[in-house]
Amino acid sequence: MYNAKAYSVASATSPFASTTIARREPTEHDVQIEILFCGICHSDLHQARNEWSGVMPTVYPCVPGHEIVGRVTKVGSAVTKFKPGDLAAVGCLVDSDGTCPECKAGFEQFCQNFTLTYNFPDKHTGGVTYGGYSESIVVKDHFVVKVPSNLDLAGAAPLLCAGITTYSPMRHWGVAKGKKVGIVGLGGLGHMGVKFAHAFGAHTVVFTTSPGKKDDALRLGADEVVISRNADEMAKHAGSFDFILDAVAADHDINAYINLLRRDGNLTMVGAPENPLAVGVFGLIMGRRSISGSPIGGLAETQEMLDFCGKHNITSDVEVIPIQKVNEAYERLLKSDVKYRFSIDMASLKSE
């Protein structure tokens, strides 16, 4: 074991503070990474404040962070994919059983025995896993992916969650040139959805309640912007979408979007509203439409996504902050006061 600097919370109401955590020494299949940037995901806030206590209670001290980009410093004797000096990344998973049908199919995100990057039982230490708000991390090589060298590393970090969460369902539902795609909500997830839909060649339409977001949506790659509160604008698109990605986490009328789908069209939820959404079944029946949900992707698809981003020079729009401003960032995140993702420059941790 070795000690690493980190930022943690000691309780649901505590601010983040500097601390030291124990990391394992790399075993034969492990990769040790110096963390350069770590994105802040809204789920970090939920976990830090124990807002998912009914499903995933937080164990304190908690070190969040699952949008990790860094440089390899050490590899185990059996590791062949990485060598010291390589750019590497870690997302939401750091282990799975590797033997179940889901793992064998490359869908580690659906394994019943996966290990999350933080706040999950750690079989190596006997405690819980600690995430990317730290100077380094040690992860099994299968769960480490390569970062294209042309990408801005601060903007690449959120690709490990916000990126793959929006890329995966688009790939699954066949988003491509000639398709009409809607993106509901223009936040951390939605802005990545716009970039991917545009890069796939689809006709991309952003739905927002905020007229002030129109110019930004067009800048990000949207072909059209619809103000969702305007019934006439919505009606013009009835029955015309092949695919809609819904990235809204607040309560909203999902039926308004289901009615925009063409025959066999799909709406995929990646936002997670706290309360159940009322779904009008006739909207699904009339047109053989479907509604689904999607989490992150598996490791192979995550690498595919990063390679796609390298080819098309896609990164998240980020505001880079030092680790010392993480408490302020969380308060701003509650107010949606960020375009569109915070990325922590972990070099700032060296001064602690």
Same domain, 225 and 116: no
pLDDT for position 2: 94
Q: Is residue 69 part of a domain?
A: yes
pLDDT for position 273: 87
pLDDT for position 5: 97
Residues of the chain with pLDDT under 50: none
Same domain, 242 and 267: yes
For residues 292 and 257, give the distance between their C-alpha atoms in angstroms, rounded to a whole number: 13
pTM for the complete prediction? 0.96
Q: What's 152's domain CATH number?
A: 3.90.180.10
Same domain, 7 and 156: yes
pLDDT for position 253: 95
Same domain, 241 and 326: no
Same domain, 186 and 198: yes
DSSP state of 134: B
Extract the runs of DSSP E, i.e. beta strands, from 56-179. 68-75, 87-90, 93-95, 115-116, 136-140, 145-146
pLDDT for position 352: 82
Same domain, 170 and 151: no
How many folded domains does the chain comprise?
2
Same domain, 62 and 72: yes
Q: Is residue 305 part of a domain?
A: no
Give the range of the structural domain holding residue 8, as residue numbers without chain letter.
2-161+316-351
- Give how far Cα 143 sits from Cα of 29, 59, 107, 109, 315, Å: 10, 23, 12, 11, 21
Same domain, 37 and 66: yes
pLDDT for position 317: 98
